[in-house]
Structure 1
Amino acid sequence: MEKCKLLTRLIKEAYPLDLLLLADPSETLVKKYVDRGQCYIVEQDGETIGVYVLLPTRPETVELVNIAVAEQHQAKGIGKALVLDAIQKAEQQGYKIMEVGTGNSSIGQLALYQKCGFRITGVDKDFFTIHYEEEIVENGIVCVDMIRLGRQL
């Protein structure tokens, strides 16, 4: 999918829970933030293949709390296009700062966010052991800490 052909749209209901759970395995947490945020999807041939959620957190600050691409569509540049789309939408809405958090074991996501201009701003130690019942393992690494990143818009 070419970057210029990526068209996202805001949805208010019938969220693609299966995709959202790819990025965050806690259905309880996903439902809480998706109801408070703005959920954008991208479709291809009538199928939802990508999603992200923008969540206002403070004046002039928005957090990208979930971004996911259907497994069969990964490694095609869609994730990066979605992050860039989220940045554009946040700028259009007047936000000045965008934040994102990801697991210490999410190596691909850490690289993606930094390629999109985000810088590490902090670490929420033990975030995933406190807020998630099930152990999360990615890339052979136990996900324990939340790595926080941010960028000016």
Structure 2
Amino acid sequence: MIRELNKDEELPLDLLLLADPSEKLVRKYISRGKCFIMYLHGTIIGTYVLIPTRPETVEIVNIAVNEEYHDRGYGKQLVLHAIETAKYEGYKTIEIGTGNSGIVQLALYQKCGFRMTSIDRDFFVRHYDEPIFENGIKVIDMVRLSQDL
């Protein structure tokens, strides 16, 4: 089950920090968007955040699944739910970005219909104080993808 997090509920910060290691940035963008949570047997195992960025455009700025539930299709379910939510809310375009080293994420997003649109060079150097490594690769650039709805 996936649903929007109520305003009086505790933020699933542990999950959000799996996708974005900066608590400061997470708290900043979470205030501008909507957080959705995925439950399995009464436990929150996944989350994503949608924020409007431009007229008729929304972005998935964070998406994460508890590591013990990886490789079971839950990430894909979250992405597809975000796409359907964006359509339902009347957006015409949905965007997402990931680090240059996000091999699994890039494959998943393309399987869900996203296409690469640009690279934001040095994004992670400009916005994060500490270096980030993923799959043995330093995360430097943001690969941007989008999908027309």
Alignment correspondent of 2:2: 8
Runs of 4+ in structure 1 off by over 2 angstroms are none
Unaligned stretches of 5+ residues in structure 1: 1-6
Query: Which of 91, 94, 98 pairs up with 2:94?
Result: 98
Residue 57 of structure 1 pairs with residue 53 of structure 2 = yes
What is the SS of the residue equivalent to 1:22?
helix
Query: Which of 25, 28, 35 pairs up with 2:24?
Result: 28
CA distance in 2, matches of 1:59, 1:119: 20
Cα RMSD after superposing both structures? 0.7
Residue 131 of structure 1 pairs with residue 127 of structure 2 = yes
* TM-score normalised per structure 1: 0.94
Alignment correspondent of 1:151: 147
Number of paired residues? 147
* TM-score normalised per structure 2: 0.97
CA distance in 2, matches of 1:9, 1:32: 21
For residues 29-83 of structure 1, what are the alpha-carbon distances to aligned partners after superposition, in whole Å with 9 as ceiling and x for unaligned? 0001111100000111221000000000011000000000001111100000100
